[in-house]
Amino acid sequence: MSKLNIVCVTGTHEKMQMAAMFASVAAASGDEVTVFLSMNALPYFLKNHNGAAPVEGPLGELMSKKGVPPFKQLFQQAVELGDAQLLPCSMALDLMEITGDDLEPELGPPTGLTRFLSDAEEGHMVAF
Partner 1 sequence: MSDSKVVDARDTFCPGPLMELITHMKQAEVGETIELLSTDEGSGNDVPEWVNKVGHELINSEKIDGVWHITIRKAK
Instruction: Name the residues that contact partner 1, by CB under 8 A.
Output: 21, 24-25, 28-30, 66-69, 74, 77, 81
CB of 68 to partner 1, least distance (A): 5
Q: How far is CA 77 from CA 29, 52, 101, 104, in A?
A: 12, 18, 20, 13
CB of 80 to partner 1, least distance (A): 8
Q: Please answer whether residues 53 and 104 qualify as being in contact, where contact means their C-beta atoms are separated by less than 8 angstroms.
A: no
Q: Residue 73 or 99: which CB sits closer to partner 1?
A: 73
CB of 90 to partner 1, least distance (A): 30
Q: Residue 29 or 99: which CB sits closer to partner 1?
A: 29
Residue 4: exposed, middle, or buried by beta-carbon count in 10 A (0-12, 13-18, 19+)? buried
Q: Residue 65 or 121: which CB sits closer to partner 1?
A: 65
